[in-house]
Structure 1
Amino acid sequence: MSSEDSKPPASELGSLSQSFADRLTFPTDDESQTKAPATPSKFNWADEVTTPIDESKKPDLPKLDSEDPKSESQPKTDDSSLGMAQTDGANVWIGGSGLEEPAEYDVDVKLADLRADPENPLYSVKQFKDLNLRPELLQGLLTMAFHKPSKIQERALPLLLANPPTNLIGQSQSGTGKTAAFTLNMLSRIDLSSNEPQALVLAPTRELAKQIAKVCALMGCFLLEQGLQITEVVPNPAMRGQHYKGQIIVGTPGSVMDMLKRRQLEGRNIKILTLDEADNMLDLQGMGDQCKRVKQQLPRDVQTVLFSATFPPEVLEFATHFAPNSNQITLKVENLTVKGIKQMYLDCDSDEAKYNALVKFYGLMTISSSIIFVRRRDTAAEIEKRMTAEGHRVASLTGALEGVDRDEVFQRFANGEARVLITTNVLSRGIDVQTVTMVVNYDIPETAGGKPDFETYLHRIGRTGRFGRTGAALSFVHDKRSWQNLMDICKHFGTEPMKLDTSDWDNVEKMLKMVMKNTRNVNVPAPEVGMQG
């Protein structure tokens, strides 16, 4: 998997100012998000639902200095069905998506203390006020439209906040509130009278690290006057030679390791270490060694918190060593469903036919925002060039870009300036962009051995259909192996992909309209289109 932290960065890195949240940008209406006018030959895919914002509760926080005022954009909605929905950390104001949980999943708790009963009411809460949180945090939760804990939060928060602190391994579907859970833990435990680093979050990419930092600042916005400071540690040559202060540090493993080694980041007072997308972070073929080295620089009794949507068995085994004596909240893989996202595929007979079908597909409709996942950087560059020539507003983000260039590309996509983002797996995890209604697997995700990559598929299509929202995933197959891998993936998750018959694009258009009318996309018939699995 691509990662900007495959090697420790040579440059010295930047931080947010002490008043980070004072510079947050809250998106408003923007002409760049205006939907394209409908024509007889196109229909509009942009029927996403936006969680309404209570302006009376929205803090008056100016925008980030580094953000273009023109980027303040999120479409409004006339659908109030998600008015009371929560958000998964990445609030709608910063481009996140709402949370409306499915009723049909259970959280399995395994306590480190085998004598304790995981069903004891002490290990579950139904209201945030039952957690004895700081009043300022309860205010922050209401500001973010969190009205009650999600199911993962009900079980995770009492375990995270218990004293003495204990380690936690948490596995739950994307969009269920993991970010808010570990953020609340940090904001509850830090000492605001000191601005020394006390909590550290590691994320696999700079985009996810920046998103988490915004969540921390927004949830803790009422603690700013008491000295709350959130600091980013991501590659930024402009911040060369800085010493990093702030109670909460959010960064990528290579950058943090580099700063610890240079003594520009002090680790002796850090009491909480959180890994987001922990299965990816602890992959021994990737960043596992970097994370291990970072932890070795921290106090031995640091509370270690690991969260991810997936934990393959071999990674979970390593995780139990990385975070010993952990309480565990896990879901069986078969319960990590993708059934809330309509999954379709196009059967092409060559790579060139794949591209032609892609162009035809985008010519058929106006999609609010979509992400196209490819395997190789050169494929991303070629698709970007050819789609741009066809008049589509696209951007490409791969591991070839670094620092502010990546920020600029991602911001173009997040604010709607580019409607299509072409990327490798660098953005398959954790990122929430509210308007994404389509994910395209231009290349079926595979392991290094050419086998189907179930976890990557789950994370990729999890960028859309965020619990109650409209979303769809389209996969391209062009040979026996890609077709078989897609079928194996869908069988693994118990879903049946819908084949789009490209010999009749009028019928494809009719079917897509029906798909997008149902916000859950579960039991939608396929008119005159055969189901294959």
Structure 2
Amino acid sequence: MASLEDRVSKPENDQTGGDATASTGTKATAPISTSGATSSWADEASPADTNSKTATVETNSEKDTSSLANAQLDGGATAALNGSSGLYDSTYEVDVQLSDLQKQSGNPLASIKSFEELGLAENILKGIYQMRFTKPSKIQEKALPLLLANPPQNMIGQSQSGTGKTAAFILNILTRLDFSSGMINQPQALILAPSRELARQILGVCQIMGEYLDGLKVEAAIPVEREQRGKQIVGQVVVGTPGTTMDLIRRRLLNATHIKVLVLDEADNMLDQQGLGDQCIRVKQLLPRNIQVVLFSATFPDRVVGFASKFAPNANTITLRHEELTVDGIKQLYLDCPTEEDKYTSLVRLYGMMTIGSSIIFVRTKKTALEIEQRMNHEGHAVACLTSDYEGSNRDVIIDSFRSGQSKVLIATNVLSRGIDVQTVSLVVNYDLPDDGKGHADPQTYLHRIGRTGRFGRVGVAIAMVCGPQSYRLVKEISEYFAVEMTSLPYNDWDQIEEIVKKVVKSSRAGANFTKATVGQSSDTSM
């Protein structure tokens, strides 16, 4: 990284910006400046901060039937939502701390090698098999016996994307539901996510896993259109965003009396961001005191660990070692752009490579996202844009169109950086690198962003566009944090850039498995 060392020695004024990624819109049925630490991901935005826009994208319900040979389906988005159809079962070891079991001398850590060992109801097993799980992943081997134990115990779980976290906490919920006559219309489990897009995705997974459970109802607690307001929530499982969920409980449209499981997906973000963190605390205060609290995420920064332990006291914890956080199979590159205009020009030149599969361009602010969308569309390049400024129903249309493949290139703020699983995404462009609002890199957000590609063992490409000493400093900090080497692309040789990018992207579309790829080296794939 000698070139980075040279670049970061030059001073540059830090630029800060924010993007309140509000989630607004309808109930589900089935950024360019970096957001800093002071930005809120609260799911409710004030009218003064949002401008409703109308999306013109149409959706369809096509299913992508492609899958890896003998692959399992992770609890990502499921095939019906064009999610990744392969489960990447990491070979990494996990550190497990068992607050209760470790106090009992001679009590070994329980783990399982098949779902049948869990004693699950036949209708739940059918749902698991429908999702093409043949055996538990490593995170599920460790987590499920603990999650399903009685009396219920809290859990804090960390594992990489594509290792079955979503399926694990949904399976726990389904086993704890009471379908007796007095409980059939009572909410009994609550799942909170940082965005409406992720909430809708989780809802779809829960519906598919619970398809064979007679009487199962799964509802969304996300902002709805005016004509739908005031409707009572009667689903046994509720998936929502914190602000809307809190509002529904307070307005007595969601009866929290019988809720026994609370799950926070992308928990580090939920607890770290000021707006969402406060809302999650308030929601928990409105729930029964003896609920089971489950926190799952791919990353848990040190600053969040203490808070998470207080939110889920006496929790069993499953964590990854620091060096195992980076995403396998993602070729991480950076492109040196002399000026800001060269940066945009380079993005346009990358467009042809973006449409080989599907691509996401991450930017810092809503304003710049809209500017790039309008400029590229005006120049004849078909791109879509997704930020919190769009009404919720229009956001649903946009993301569904992207899932179906109608839209190939999506410009997005951090609203789409976490948890979203779209199988066809083979290229992620960090037009703006994420920072912490204080001029330093935000490695966790970077990891979640690039994790939208290379999912479940596939290969993918992540390109960071840099311009000036500050962005080079961010690249250097990220590469040092994850102990990876980012390869520099030759700015003046677009034939070589195209060859490098297309080689990896085409390997991804062919369904190649990537085994412990070393960033900066040639892509060794196993066909």
TM-score range, shorter chain: 0.7 to 0.9
Amino acid at match of 1:281: M
1:210 to 167, 175, 200: 200
Question: Unpaired runs of 5+ in structure 2?
Answer: 1-17, 31-56, 523-527
Equivalent position to 1:152, from 139, 143, 153: 139
**1:114-513 correspondence runs (5 A):** 114-116=102-104, 120=108, 123-193=110-180, 194=183, 195-223=185-213, 226-237=214-225, 238-363=227-352, 366-513=355-502
- Give the Cα separation in 2 of the matches to 1:482 and 1:270: 46
How many Å separate the matches in 1 of 2:316 and 2:73?
Answer: 25
Shift, 1:351, TM fit: 1.2
* 2:188/2:261 contact within 8 Å kept: yes
Corresponding pairs, count? 468
Q: Name the CA distance, whole Å, in 1 between partners of 2:294 and 2:233.
A: 22
Does residue 71 in structure 1 map to residue 60 in structure 2? yes
The amino acid across from 1:200 in the alignment is: L
Quick one: distance in 2 between partners of 1:100 and 1:110?
25
Kindly provide the amino acid, as one letter, of the partner of residue 358 in structure 2. S
Structure-1 separation of matches of 2:353 and 2:22? 39
For residues 344 and 141 of structure 1, the distance between their equivalents in structure 2, rounded to whole angstroms, comes to 37
What secondary structure, in the 3-state scheme, does the structure 2 residue paired with 1:99 have? coil
CA shift digits 1:344-374 (9 cap, x unpaired): 1110012111000111121356421100000
Q: How many angstroms does 1:517 deviate by?
A: 5.4
Indicate conservation of the 8 Å contact 2:21/2:387, yes or no.
no
In structure 2, the residue matched to 1:65 is none
How far 1:526 moved relative to its partner?
Answer: 6.4
Q: Deviations over 1:412-438 (max 9, x none)?
A: 211112111101101100010111111
C-alpha contact 1:367 1:438 (8 A) present in aligned 2: no
SS at match of 2:232: coil
The Cα shift of 1:125 comes to 0.7
Amino acid at match of 2:98: L
* More displaced stretch, 500-509 vs 428-437: 500-509
SS at 1:176's partner residue?
A: coil
Give how far 1:389 is off: 2.2
The one-letter amino acid of 2:389's match is A
Aligned residue type for 2:132: A
Q: Which moved more, 1:299-308 or 1:396-405?
A: 396-405
1:110–1:118 Cα contact (<8 Å) kept: no
CA RMSD, aligned part only? 2.2
**Structure 1 position 85, deviation (Å):** 2.5
Superposed CA offset, 1:377-423 (max 9, x none): 11101111122123222111111113112111112211112111101
Alpha-carbon deviation of 1:93?
A: 2.2
Aligned partner letter, 1:375: R
Q: Deviations over 1:276-324 (max 9, x none)?
A: 0001111152311100000001110010000011111121100100110
Structure 1: unaligned runs, 5 residues or longer: 25-67, 528-533
For 2:457, what is the secondary structure of its paired residue? Answer: coil
In structure 1, give the amino acid aligned to 2:157: G
Structure-2 separation of matches of 1:144 and 1:370: 26
Mean CA deviation greater in 517-526 or 280-289: 517-526
Distance 1:145 1:263, change over 3 A: same
SS at match of 2:161: coil
Question: Structure 1's 84 and 360: CA in aligned 2 closer, same or farther, altered over 3 A?
Answer: closer
The letter of the residue matching 2:216 is L
The two structures have a TM-score, normalised by structure 2, of 0.84
Q: Work out whether residues 427 and 453 of structure 2, in 8 Å CA contact, stay in contact via their aligned partners in 1.
A: yes
Q: For residue 524 of structure 1, report the CA deviation from its aligned partner.
A: 8.3
8 A Cα contact 2:27 2:223, kept in partner: no
Supply the distance in 1 between the matched residues of 2:479 and 2:69 (Cα, whole angstroms). Answer: 29
Counterpart CA distance in 2 for 1:459 and 1:365 is: 19
Query: Is residue 5–residue 287 contact of structure 1 (8 Å, CA) maintained in 2?
Result: no
Distance 1:69 1:390, change over 3 A: closer
2:218 counterpart letter in structure 1:
I
Alignment of 1:511-526 (within 5 A): 511-516=500-505, 518=507, 519=512, 520=514, 522=517
